[in-house]
């Protein structure tokens, strides 16, 4: 079974402060992890994926297999970063099929 845990439902920071959104996972195989973001009343969109080791909008996330974590970080938060963030794990579901399991999400608010 695969599981994704985001321990914080809400996270509030001030503009310019560092931000870290936590994500822990449980999966018996080799995980593929993602962060998705949903701005107010918009559709979900991919923010970044661990396999690409990319930085998008100043956000980075490092896969730590020892701690089974994939925390999302940004050194200086901006007001436009306010959104709902979902951590997701792609796992094998049989045949040639994969499915995403999402965490429950963290609502980030960046205050001016």
Partner 1 sequence: DAGITQSPRHKVTETGTPVTLRCHQTENHRYMYWYRQDPGHGLRLIHYSYGVKDTDKGEVSDGYSVSRSKTEDFLLTLESATSSQTSVYFCAISRPGLAALKGTQYFGPGTRLLVL
| Residues binding partner 1 (CB under 8 A) | 6, 9, 32-34, 42-46, 49, 51-52, 86, 88-90, 93, 95-105
Cβ closer to partner 1: 5 or 60?
5
The residue whose two tokens read 């499915």 is: 99
- Report the candidate in 49, 19, 53 with the shortest Cα–Cα distance to residue 10: 19
To partner 1, the closest distance from the beta carbon of 73 in angstroms equals 20
Closer by beta carbon to partner 1, 17 or else 46: 46
Least Å distance, CB 34 to partner 1, is: 5
Question: Could you give the CA distance from residue 17 to residue 1 in angstroms, rounded to a whole number?
Answer: 36
Q: Please answer whether residues 23 and 4 qualify as being in contact, where contact means their C-beta atoms are separated by less than 8 angstroms.
A: yes
Cβ proximity to partner 1, 57 vs 76, nearer residue: 57
As a whole number of Å, the end-to-end CA separation of the chain is 41
């Amino acid at each position: 079974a695969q599981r994704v845990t985001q321990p914080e439902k809400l996270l509030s920071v001030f503009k310019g402060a560092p931000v870290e959104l936590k994500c822990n996972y449980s999966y018996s195989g080799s995980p593929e992890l993602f962060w998705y973001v949903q701005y107010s009343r918009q559709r979900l969109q991919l923010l970044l994926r661990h396999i690409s080791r990319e930085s998008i909008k100043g956000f980075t996330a490092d896969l730590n297999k020892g701690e089974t974590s994939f925390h999302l970080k940004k050194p200086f938060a901006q007001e436009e970063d306010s959104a709902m963030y979902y951590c997701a794990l792609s796992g094998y579901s049989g045949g040639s099929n994969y499915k995403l399991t999402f965490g429950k999400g963290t609502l980030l608010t960046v205050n001016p």
